[in-house]
Amino acid sequence: MEQQVVALDVGGANIKAASSTGRAQSIPFPLWRKPERLPHLLRPLLPEPSETTAVLVTMTAELCDCFRTKRDGVLHVLNSVEEACRTRGIDAEHVRVWTRAGSFIPLPAARQHPLEVAAANWLATAWWVAALYAQGTCLLVDTGSTTTDLTLIRDGRPVPQGLTDSERLLSRELVYVGVRRTPLPAVLDTVPFRGALCPIMAELFATSLDVFLVLEELPERPDDHNTADGEPATREAAHARLARLIGGDVESVAYDEVVTIARHARTAITDRIEHALDCQWRRAGRLDRCVLTGEGEFLLADILRRRMPQVPIECLAERLGPEVSRAACAHAMIELWKKRG
């Protein structure tokens, strides 16, 4: 029977999983609403116990506001993984947790040093990409549903300025802008409307998902209700959400008017990412290539071709396929595990 390595990247809004058999998936799960359900969500992602050689774990879910501290959040994730393994019949000795030191440690050691395994998923992707490009200077950029991670790599080693979330925010290596979950009031103050700039309402009426739905850069998903109002991820529903930003609705704000709003919002989103890119570009001095991954590859490629036309771009979706690219951190852990020792 074929042995499997399974990697779990447990985020606050999505759980991403990859397998050594080549499968990958991303499951929307707003953990802060029902953290007690995490073991039940993880269990189906695990293989049969007789097929398991390792369960690899990384996380960003510890920052959810249902946890008093990050330490509490890390321990909840680790306990949930252990419970999922136990109910699946997998011994916890198979579990290894990725650290900010760039190594895997057993579950008991992770419990003893919870802050060393917090928010370390981006570094797994960076170390894997670093192994692909052992020479020169590379910038890895990962835009997902919520954040954009930027990691500089020199001669086969990641060289981040920060390791914790706070340090990476300060260094502009972490930008809280993504293509689905960013509340638009976080990036906008006003939008164009009928010949004037209209202040927007500082409410969670619409997110970046609505922008890219209306602009037809993300596909509609009628069964996806992880939206600002719980209505489907369709262009029709996005019309209503964007109209609410300016105190309107689908009757008072025409579709072509929300398209104009969406274009303005897209520019505000890309401006945040471009600023971070400029910071890393200045630090690098020169770049031999940029490697892009995540659900927002399309947005990154557009920015880079416009701002850095001389820098070669590689999109991991072309190398791995879109599903694996969206779960790049989980896939990277499997590749790193294969090369250990």
- In tens, the pLDDT along 177-199 reads 999 999 999 999 999 999 999 99
Asked whether residue 210 is domain-assigned, the answer is: yes
- Give residue 164's pLDDT: 95
Domain-ending residue, one of 119, 146, 168: 119
Asked whether residue 338 is domain-assigned, the answer is: no
Q: Are residues 47 and 138 in the same domain?
A: no
- Give residue 191's pLDDT: 98
Q: Are residues 168 and 200 in the same domain?
A: yes
Contact predicate 196/205, CB 8 Å? no
Q: Are residues 140 and 154 in the same domain?
A: yes
Q: What is the mean pLDDT of residues 249-278?
A: 97
Q: Are residues 238 and 175 in the same domain?
A: yes
Q: Are residues 30 and 115 in the same domain?
A: yes
Q: Are residues 14 and 148 in the same domain?
A: no
Distance separating alpha carbons of residues 256 and 57, to the nearest angstrom: 45
Q: Are residues 67 and 79 in the same domain?
A: yes
Asked whether residue 325 is domain-assigned, the answer is: no
pLDDT at 1 over 60: no
Amino acid at 225: H
Asked whether residue 252 is domain-assigned, the answer is: yes
Instruction: Check which CATH number belongs to the domain holding 93 and give it.
Output: 3.30.420.40
- Name the band, by pLDDT with cuts 50, 70 and 90, for residue 127: very high
- Give residue 18's pLDDT: 96
241: CB partners within 8 A, 6+ apart: 205, 206, 207, 210, 227, 228, 229, 231
- Give residue 134's pLDDT: 85
CA nearest 294: which of 174, 134, 183, 145? 145
Q: Are residues 111 and 143 in the same domain?
A: no
Domain-ending residue, one of 119, 151, 184: 119
Asked whether residue 149 is domain-assigned, the answer is: yes
Asked whether residue 172 is domain-assigned, the answer is: yes
Q: Are residues 141 and 8 in the same domain?
A: no
CA nearest 162: which of 150, 154, 176? 150
pLDDT digits (tens, 9 = 90+) for 275-329: 999 999 999 998 999 999 999 999 999 999 998 899 999 999 999 998 899 999 9
Overall domain count for the chain: 2
Asked whether residue 332 is domain-assigned, the answer is: no
Q: Are residues 86 and 98 in the same domain?
A: yes
- Give residue 2's pLDDT: 61
pLDDT at 340 over 80: no
Q: What is the mean pLDDT of residues 228-255?
A: 98
Give bridge partners of residue 333 from the DSSP assignment. Answer: none
pLDDT digits (tens, 9 = 90+) for 36-93: 999 999 999 999 888 889 999 999 999 999 999 999 999 999 999 999 999 999 999 9
- Give residue 266's pLDDT: 98
CA nearest 116: which of 96, 130, 102, 95? 102
Q: What one-character-per-residue DSSP string does 182-217 give?
A: -BGGGT-SEEEETTEEEEPP-SSS-BHHHHHHHTTS
Asked whether residue 94 is domain-assigned, the answer is: yes
pLDDT at 168 over 80: yes
Instruction: Check which CATH number belongs to the domain holding 215 and give it.
Output: 3.30.420.190
Distance separating alpha carbons of residues 118 and 115, to the nearest angstrom: 5
Residue 263 backbone phi and psi in degrees, to 5: -60, -40
Contact predicate 218/209, CB 8 Å? yes
Give bridge partners of residue 196 from the DSSP assignment. Answer: 193
Q: Are residues 29 and 167 in the same domain?
A: no
- Name the band, by pLDDT with cuts 50, 70 and 90, for residue 204: very high
Q: What range defines the domain where residue 78 resides?
A: 4-119
Q: Are residues 38 and 130 in the same domain?
A: no
